[in-house]
Chains A and B, each alone.
Chain A
Amino acid sequence: MATLEIRDLHVSVGAGEDAKEILRGVDLTVKAGETHAIMGPNGSGKSTLAYAIAGHPKYTVTSGTVTLDGEDVLEMSVDERARAGLFLAMQYPVEVPGVSVSNFLRSAVTAVRGEAPKLRVFAKETKAAMDALSIDPAFAQRSLNEGFSGGEKKRHEILQLEMLKPKIAVLDETDSGLDVDALKVVSEGINRFHDGDPETGVLLITHYTRILRYVKPDFVHVFAGGRIVEQGGPELADQLESEGYEKYVKAGASA
Chain B
Amino acid sequence: MGLDTRPLSTLHEKASYEVADFEVPTGREEEWRFTPLRRLKGLHNGTADASGKVISEIETPAEIKVETVGRDDERLGKAFVPSDRVSAQAWTSFTEATVVTVPQEVEASAPVVIRRHGEDASGAAYGHTTVIVEPFAKATVVLSHRGSALYAENVEFVVGDSASLSVISLQDWADDAVHVGRQHAKLGRDARFTSHNISLGGDLVRISPSVEYAERGGDAELYGVYFADGGQHLEHRLLVDHAVATCRSRVDYRGALQDQDAHAVWIGDVIIRAEAEGTDTYELNRNLVLTDGTRVDSVPNLEILTGEVAGAGHASASGRLDDEHLFYLQARGIPFDQARRMVVRGFLGQLVDRIQVEEVREKVAAAIEAELDRAPAPETEPAR
Contacts and interface: CB of A to CB of B under 8 A. Distances in A.
A10 interface: no
B134 to A, nearest CB: 37
Interface stretch (B139-147, B228-236, B298-306, B322-330): B322-330
B331 A54 contact: yes
B71 interface: no
Question: Which of B332, B333, B381: most chain A CB closer than 10 A?
Answer: B333
B336 interface: yes
A98 B345 contact: yes
Contact of A108 (B327, B334, B381): B334
Interface stretch (B8-16, B168-176, B346-354): B346-354
A20 interface: no
A76 interface: yes
A74 B333 contact: no
Nearest to B335: A79
A96 B331 contact: no
A160 B332 contact: yes
A107 B384 contact: no
Nearest to B383: A57
A60 B383 contact: yes
B331 A82 contact: yes
A74 B383 CA distance: 11
A223 to B, nearest CB: 21
A96 B343 contact: yes
A107 B342 contact: yes
A255 interface: no
Contacts of B383: 57, 60
B338 interface: yes
Contacts of A76: 384
A99 B345 CA distance: 8
Contacts, number: 97
Interface stretch (A87-95, A186-194, A198-206, A236-244): A87-95
Q: Is the interface of B mostly helix, strand, loop or mixed?
A: helix
B384 A55 contact: yes
Contacts of B322: 94
Given A79-B339, A99-B343, A164-B332, A57 B323 contact: yes
A104 B342 contact: yes
Interface in B332-374: 332-336, 338-339, 342-343, 345-350
A88 B382 CA distance: 18
Nearest to A57: B382
A164 B381 contact: no
Contacts of B348: 98
B333 A82 contact: yes
Interface in A9-27: none
A108 B332 contact: yes
B325 A98 contact: no
B327 A104 contact: no
Interface string A92-125: 0110111100011001100110000000000000
A78 B338 CA distance: 13
Contacts of B347: 97-98
A75 interface: yes
B328 A93 contact: yes
A160 B333 CA distance: 11
Given A57-B323, A57-B327, A96-B325, A79 B349 contact: no
A77 B333 contact: no
Contacts of B384: 55, 57, 74-78
Nearest to B332: A108
A81 B336 CA distance: 12
Nearest to A58: B323
B311 to A, nearest CB: 20
A79 B350 contact: no
A56 interface: yes
Nearest to A88: B331
Contact of B342 (A56, A60, A93, A103): A103
B334 A98 contact: no
A104 B332 contact: yes
A117 to B, nearest CB: 13
Given A55-B384, A57-B383, A77-B384, A104 B329 contact: yes
B346 A98 contact: yes
A134 B349 CA distance: 29
26 contacts: A54-B331, A55-B384, A57-B323, A57-B384, A74-B384, A77-B336, A78-B331, A78-B336, A78-B382, A78-B384, A79-B333, A82-B333, A83-B333, A94-B324, A96-B342, A97-B350, A98-B345, A98-B350, A99-B329, A99-B346, A104-B332, A107-B342, A111-B338, A112-B332, A144-B328, A160-B332
Interface of B: 322-325, 327-336, 338-339, 342-343, 345-350, 381-384
5 nearest CB pairs, A to B:
A98-B346, A57-B382, A111-B333, A108-B332, A82-B333
Given A57-B323, A79-B331, A90-B328, 8 more contacts: A75-B384, A82-B334, A87-B331, A96-B328, A96-B342, A97-B347, A97-B350, A99-B346
